[in-house]
Amino acid sequence: MTTATRRVAPADQTPATLTFPQGFLWGTATAAYQIEGAAALDGRTPSIWDTYARTPGKVRNGDTGDVATDHYHRWREDVGIMADLGVGAYRFSISWPRVQPTGRGPAVQKGLDFYRRLTDELLDKGIQPVATLYHWDLPQELEDAGGWPERATADRFAEYAALAADALGDRVRTWTTLNEPWCSAFLGYGSGVHAPGRTEPVSALRAAHHLNLAHGKAVQALRAALPGGAQVSVTLNIHHVRPLTGQAPDVDAARRIDALANRVFTGPMFEGAYPADLLEDTAHLTDWSFVRDRDTADIEQRLDFLGVNYYTPTLVSAAADGTSHGSDGHGRSDHSPWIGADNVAFHLPPGTTTAMGWAVDPTGMHDLLLRLGADLPDMPLVITENGAAFDDYVDPSGEVRDPDRIAYLHGHLTAVHRAIEAGVDVRGYFLWSLLDNFEWGYGYSKRFGTVYVDYPTGRRIPKASSRWYAQLARTGTLTPLD
């Protein structure tokens, strides 16, 4: 996969009203640790995020996911909200330590029963359940045994995948193995801004490989356990990397980041090999001997679609001082997640930003989809996360008005539609997120939801964007903003 350059279409190429293809899937998404709460109920044991959040100084305001939005008890209300939105699908994640608390052995039926009740309610409301097996909540006992840098964790994940598929495969027909393994590997073991908070460059590369291996083994386990017609996928946060200039040093900086951000996963998953330039860039750190002979064959498995998460582009240049620094959008740390790319500077793209400090740039979405359509022409794509955090509040009338979020979504969905018109096979879009929730290292300080959550009471208040999205989901038509 090559690094794409920016292309901006003239405004007059965008029609006033855009209609998405018949059957285009509209959904919304969440993750278990961010919303469920009930951290110690019904046999659930700590995940790495429980441990990390309880470590002083790791999460803003000392926030944890102990209660989160209490979705574990309010799931029926939340499904009702989805039904009111008119979405056709809900992408949720299964909490590994709720289903298999130690990461080994038999499943806990009370944990599985929660997901059985949830999926039954979704199906009753005509909403397709889309289950993600891993959204960053590794059982702490597996981390204590070495975590993702250890090969055994990939085997444990395949066993867990089989347990989940055996229990829920009669209800759930669409499965995702991993969500954003880049974050798990490089933020968890490289920069340490995500759980488990380790800062070990070679461990980050080992973790990336074993996450790839876990994906491949889980796909095989799912195929063996699921009925015919079930769909299996993976979700990657493909970084749309742009060089600051067309000069050779900046172009090479973009190549290095593209290798670490994207091709470390797409290479083995879709081409059966790690990219040669990645191996060369990191040769001073490791010889990659942790990759065994049959590993890439196990990783390269047939998928029914690729999930794509996109929020903002990545702008880079060569760094004169030989260090990796600047605004990469992934949290502050004295340790870089960009293993072997210590001569790269990150820049904030021009334009407006979200509450996360991320640039609002829908052209990145468009260009990324064109790239994926060219590089993986036979692979259907689904936008599995896209959205924005803003400083939302309840006004005196009791309303939550979020015009900036509506504008963000409108711009990015226009970009998706342009990509579809250009021939890219995009089949669905999941808005991140259904609810305001625990935003990892930022705690409860950042609000991504289309539904406002009053954390002291748990009260849900649909924002203006939820009504806007409901109209879009019901009609499939994107109309001009007022």
* H or E element that contains 39: none
* H or E element that contains 38: none
Q: Is 271 a catalytic residue?
A: no
Which residues are bridge partners to 431 per DSSP? Answer: 28, 386
Q: Tell me the DSSP string of 437-477.
A: ---GGGTTS----SEEEETTTTEEEE-HHHHHHHHHHHH-E
> SS3 sequence, 69-122?
CCHHHHHHHHHHHHHHHCCCEEEEECCHHHHCCCCCCCCCHHHHHHHHHHHHHH
Q: Distance between alpha carbon 473 and the CA centroid of its chain, in Å? A: 21
* Residue 223: φ, ψ to 5°: -60, -35
Which residues are bridge partners to 118 per DSSP? Answer: none
**Cα separations in angstroms, 291 against 147, 221, 310:** 17, 21, 29
Could you tell me the two tokens for 85?
A: 């939105």
Name the active-site residue from 121, 180, 300, 439.
180
| Gap between the Cα atoms of 164 and 118, Å rounded | 14
Name the active-site residue from 36, 150, 300, 385.
385
Q: Is 385 a catalytic residue?
A: yes
| Gap between the Cα atoms of 172 and 177, Å rounded | 13
Report yes or no: 236 and 230 within 8 Å, Cβ to Cβ: no
Q: Which residues are catalytic?
A: 180, 385
